[in-house]
Amino acid sequence: MLPKTDCKRMKKGGISCKPIVAFVKINNLATHFWKHRMSTTHRYTLTISCPDRAGIIAAVSGFIAQHGGFIVEASYHTDQEAQRFFMRQEIRADSLPFDADEFRRRFAPLALEFVMSWQLADSALKKRLVVLVSKQDHCLDDLLHRWRSGELQVDISCVISNHDDLRSFVEWHGIPFIRVDMPGNDAIAKTAAFEKIAALFEQHRGDCMVLARFMQIVPPWLCQRYPGRIVNIHHSFLPSFVGAKPYHQAYQRGVKLIGATCHYVTDELDAGPIIEQDTVRIDHGDTVDDLVRYGRDIEKTVLARALRYHVEDRVLVCGNKTIVFR
């Protein structure tokens, strides 16, 4: 809108400022519409990791430009210690003359030249989550709310649990609930239980296994089968206070910060690449119950953020670290 002094001058000259005000409003509305349209446009997301060298960005961007591709978001990073280059680009699918499969076929020779580890994700194909949970429902509840509202653009294929406590809640959402018992002291039976979980993950064509407070240790063989595809929310700010009852440990130590960590699961317990973390300040007046309550709130937030980064292909693994293009 024009300043009042300018409007007064225009009115003295017999000119109305209403059309200009209307134009500004319409222009702002158009800008808002365009931004929304761009955020929901069908896109391909290209992620790349390769040895660092000159010309990588030029080669990849040149390939896309050669076919008329329109890059709407681009991120780059070089890990100086590993001398490895990381890239993420979002390309408007309708700007290319071919589909995702043809993109992959044509891009393969370039990827081979630069020794790339790469993948192309299609935004039209939602990631399929298989959620594992025990008795605590706060993380699952938050995920289902974000999924139901459309905030988290995924398909939840099923929920697997070693208890029946959350069955009615999950089935109310129209999601299959599958119980897999976890015998406490029977190693052979526990291995069979995890083999069943692995079979269910394959049966439901899962892309990501989410441990939403699943209180069982995933065996090494399962971690190795799905590297970078099992996400766990840990109820402490790792690497501090690992194991059971971290909030009780934190209370006994008199810490001033507690937090939560979301990481990829590896065969080393609670030591996989970290995707997201956050903390909350506490003081001497907080009880153990207060810490647990604060912790549940932050666990939900950290898991939701980490899953968003994962399903949007914003996380690239570098050794035991991650590069997160937020």
Please give the pLDDT value at position 10. 42
Please give the pLDDT value at position 9. 40
Q: What is the CA radius of gyration of the chain?
A: 25
Please give the pLDDT value at position 134. 96
Kindly report, residue by residue over 280-316, the tens digit of the pLDDT. 998 989 998 998 899 999 999 999 999 999 999 999 9
Please give the pLDDT value at position 242. 66
Q: Which of 308, 304, 306, 310 is nearest to 140 (CA)?
A: 304
The fold for domain 43-122 equals: Alpha-Beta Plaits (3.30.70)
Q: Which of 267, 170, 169 is nearest to 223 (CA)?
A: 267
Helix pair angle (138-149, 288-311), 10° resolution: 40
Q: Considering the domain 127-324 in this protein, what is its CATH number? A: 3.40.50.170
Kindly report, residue by residue over 87-130, the tens digit of the pLDDT. 999 999 999 999 999 999 999 999 999 999 999 999 999 999 99
Largest CA distance in the chain: 91
Separation CA 208–CA 127 (nearest Å): 7
Please give the pLDDT value at position 254. 82
- Indicate which residue of 6, 52, 122, 270 is catalytic: 270
Please give the pLDDT value at position 244. 67
Please give the pLDDT value at position 24. 33
Report the Cα 90 to chain-centroid distance in Å: 16
Q: Where are the alpha helices (DSSP H) in 120-279?
A: 138-149, 167-172, 187-203, 220-225, 246-253
Active site residue 270: yes
Q: Splitting the chain (326 residues) into consecutive groups of 10 residues, what average pLDDT does each group show?
A: 44 43 37 42 97 98 97 97 97 98 98 98 97 96 97 97 97 98 90 98 98 95 97 78 72 83 93 94 91 93 97 96 96
Residue 19: both structure tokens together: 């059309």
